[in-house]
Every structure is written in C-alpha cells, then in structure tokens.
Amino acid sequence: QVQLVESGGGSVQAGGSLRLSCAASGYTYSTYCMGWFRQAPGKQREGVAIIGNDGSTSYADSVKGRFTISKDNAKNTLYLQMNSLKPEDTAMYYCAADPWVLSCTLARRTDFGYWGQGTQVTVSS
C-alpha cells in the first residue's frame, strides 16, 4: 500500500526558508512521478512543483527561482526547498505520487492517485 507522509512545515517570517520532506513507502519509489501541491483556505489545490523519474522538473510560475524540488531515491524521500517565502505561500502543502502519468512534468492534480495528509506552511509579513 502506497503511503506518503509529509513533514517540515511550520511558521516563518517573510523572506525565510523551509524544507518540506515526503517519506514514501509501499512502492518502487524511483519509477513514480511525484509532486508538491498546496491549498490555501477557500482556494483550489494547485501544483507547486513536479519531478519525474528521470529527474526532470517543472514549477509553477509563482515559485520559480524560489523553490526547488528534489528526491533521494535511496531514502525514498521527496523534498521541497522553499526560499524567499512570501505570505501568499501560506497553505497546506501536499505530496503526491503516481506511476501512470505519461508526461510527468505536465501532470495536473487529477493525474495523481496517491496523496499525503499535508503539512501546514504559514508565512507572516
């Protein structure tokens, strides 16, 4: 059974940094398309960053140059390094994975079948 567990969220002032982690288990981690999504109160869940099994990545325009997605296949862990955080980055952040995405870096929220429970990120001004 696929399990995704996020950690690393918290409260930080604008301009600060956080690193989110997503520990994965129950599947062949390295072959999956994986991504980070976020959902702010009253808004739809949106894509933040995606990484394919070949290491290719894509980012939402709002986080380009500030966030970096990476993964450690040996540790079955996905990361999201978030720098220069802004109040508008405040949201619940979710890790997602799926083995059947054809074009990983173009994947949408509905393409992912496995989700973690989320970790809260709050950025104050």
Q: Give Cα separations from 32 to 8, 13, 63, 65 (angstroms).
A: 22, 34, 23, 24
CA atoms within 13 A of residue 110's CA, in its CB half-sphere: 1
Q: According to the model, what pLDDT value does residue 29 have?
A: 67
Assign 3-state DSSP to the chain and report helix, strand, coil percentages, each to 5: 10, 50, 40
Cα distances from 91 to residues 10, 78, 118, in angstroms, run: 10, 18, 10
68 burial level (CB within 10 Å; 0-12, 13-18, 19+)? middle
Confidence of residue 26 (pLDDT cuts 50, 70, 90): confident
For the chain, the average pLDDT equals 95
Under 8 Å between Cβ of 97 and 32: yes
**Neighbouring C-alpha atoms within 13 Å toward the C-beta of 7:** 4
Q: What percent of the chain has pLDDT over 70?
A: 99
What pLDDT digit, counting tens, does each position of 58-116 carry?
Answer: 999 999 999 999 999 899 999 999 999 999 999 999 999 998 888 999 999 999 999 99
Cα separation, 54 vs 51, in Å, equals: 8
54: CB partners within 8 A, 6+ apart: none
